Chains A and B, each alone.
Chain A
Amino acid sequence: MDPLLLLALFAAIVMAIGVVWLLFVSRLPYRYPLGNRHPAFARYYVNKQEAEQRAESLLKGLLNSDQYNHLVRKGYIEVQSGMYPYRTYRIPRHRGSVEVYEMGRLVMSLCVQPTEAVPDADVVVMHKLMIEGNEREYLRRANYFDRQTDPFW
């Protein structure tokens, strides 16, 4: 047999094995269009991003431009208490406890969470609406971290 033909046949077999390995054995990123994640994860990330955009848009609509700029710049918004005249709640932009200020002094922090997983911006909306419209219930459900009694403060 012609040695060149033999070499070409050997090269073809090696290439075929390589292609089969790439397609069925290796876990190289090109298998999925959005990186090496399974398509279900890719859908999850797209949905999560859309959810966050929708939540951000709702939050922006509920705040006036000054409040929204304050939130972006300083990382929190302040909501005045309806029950206690000298009290202000400081709601963080991202997850964390709500700080309670009285006469400008930090007196305690509150931990309240929605029982469903929602985007961060929706958590800000939740705190704002609960404090404005249902403050008594909000305080009833919150866990308090008091400056005087909490050893980890």
Chain B
Amino acid sequence: MAKMRILSSLGDSVVEWDTEKATEGDVEAQKAVKEAERIFKEARARGATAFKVDAPDKAAERIDKFDKNAEQIIVVPRVAGG
């Protein structure tokens, strides 16, 4: 299962989808992917930055477009100088 975590005051909200099932044509899995993509776009529109994270030892990679094949996406809120 692929995951997208959106950081917020509640900790993080998790959205999950099954890439394999979506590719095989499972309607529910495809809906989950579309919903994840919609949430991703909404967060990006609010100024959030998204990162693809695979393993602890591998550096995170910034992504501008939703990647349904990513193992884990983490969306961090907009940052500003303190």
Contacts and interface: CB of A to CB of B under 8 A. Distances in A.
Interface string B34-53: 00000000000001010101
A132 B11 contact: no
Q: Which of B10, B47, B79 has the most CB of A within 10 A?
A: B79
B56 A143 contact: no
Contact of A125 (B7, B8, B61): B7
Contacts of B79: 112-115, 126, 130, 138, 141
Contact of A129 (B12, B47, B53): B53
Interface string A113-128: 1111111001001101
A71 to B, nearest CB: 12
A146 B20 CA distance: 50
B78 A129 contact: no
B56 A64 contact: yes
Contacts of B7: 55, 114, 116, 118, 122, 125-126
Nearest to A65: B56
Contacts of A27: none
A111 B11 contact: no
Interface string A52-71: 11110010011110010000
19 contacts: A51-B11, A53-B11, A58-B5, A63-B56, A112-B82, A113-B81, A115-B47, A115-B78, A115-B80, A116-B7, A116-B9, A122-B7, A122-B11, A125-B76, A126-B77, A132-B51, A133-B62, A134-B49, A137-B49
Interface of B: 5, 7-12, 47, 49, 51, 53, 56-57, 59-62, 74, 76-82
Nearest to A61: B56
Nearest to B76: A126
B11 A114 contact: no
Given A62-B53, A112-B79, A125-B76, A133 B61 contact: yes
B51 A119 contact: no
Given A129-B53, A133-B60, A134-B62, A119 B11 contact: yes
